Structure 1
Amino acid sequence: MTWSWEYVPSKQHVTAGAPADFLAAVEQRAGELVRAAEALYLDGATYQGSGEPMRYLDVAGGMLAYYVVPRLDLVIVCQVTPPPTS
């Protein structure tokens, strides 16, 4: 299996109203999270732990919430909070 990331429950639900440049930064960071998870969980399908808790990451003045599911080789982005507008 190949590691990937996705918005859950859907891209429309998670990203509604966020500016395109912020979402580009979120998706770049999600790709970085996938590469890190690949290195940490070399054989995610055989992972026996309870999994990681949800984590938060600063992105371009905003924030994203994500968690890693090693058995599915998946990084889930479940919330984005764009930077405040002036």
Structure 2
Amino acid sequence: MSDTWRWEYDPDSAHVTGGVPAEITAEVERLAAQLTELAGMGVDIGDLGNGPRTGGLRRMDAAGGWFYFLASPRDRLIVVVRIVPPFDQL
């Protein structure tokens, strides 16, 4: 197993980013990359953003909207599961 953190969309990019403006997708991808960097430095990212409990599904603001992600320390993986653009761009 690699000791490098990475991120990916679940179930896939088309499902998560479909219909979302490109600038919002780019911001989410930038933030996901920063989360991997923080995790790689030893920061516990399981409590970043908002969520009902540490280690569960997290919500993080991005470009006027937000996205949901899940951190999996065992797999060294951040999974972006949903992007919600600002209301005026829906």
Shorter-chain TM range is 0.7 to 0.9
Q: Residues 37 and 68 of structure 1 are in contact (CA less than 8 Å); yes or no, is this contact kept in structure 2?
A: no
- 1:47-72 Cα distance to aligned partner (Å, 9 max, x none): xxxx8111000000000000110111
* Cα distance in 2 for residues equivalent to 1:9 and 1:30: 16
TM-superposed CA distance for 1:4, in Å, is 0.5
* Structure 2: stretches of 5+ with no match in the other structure: 44-53
Greater Rg over alpha carbons, structure: 1
Ranges in structure 1 where 5+ consecutive residues have no aligned partner: 42-50
Which residue is equivalent to 1:31? 33
**Alignment TM-score, normalising by the size of structure 1:** 0.82
Structure 1 residue runs of 4 or more that deviate by more than 3 Å after TM superposition:
none
* Matched pairs, number: 77
- Counterpart residue type for residue 11 of structure 1: S
- Counterpart Cα distance in 2 of 1:70 and 1:39: 13
Residue in structure 2 matched with residue 12 of structure 1 by the alignment: 14
Deviations, residues 29-80 of structure 1 (Å, cap 9, x unaligned): 0001111111226xxxxxxxxx811100000000000011011110000110
Percent identity (aligned): 38
Matched, 1:54 2:84: no
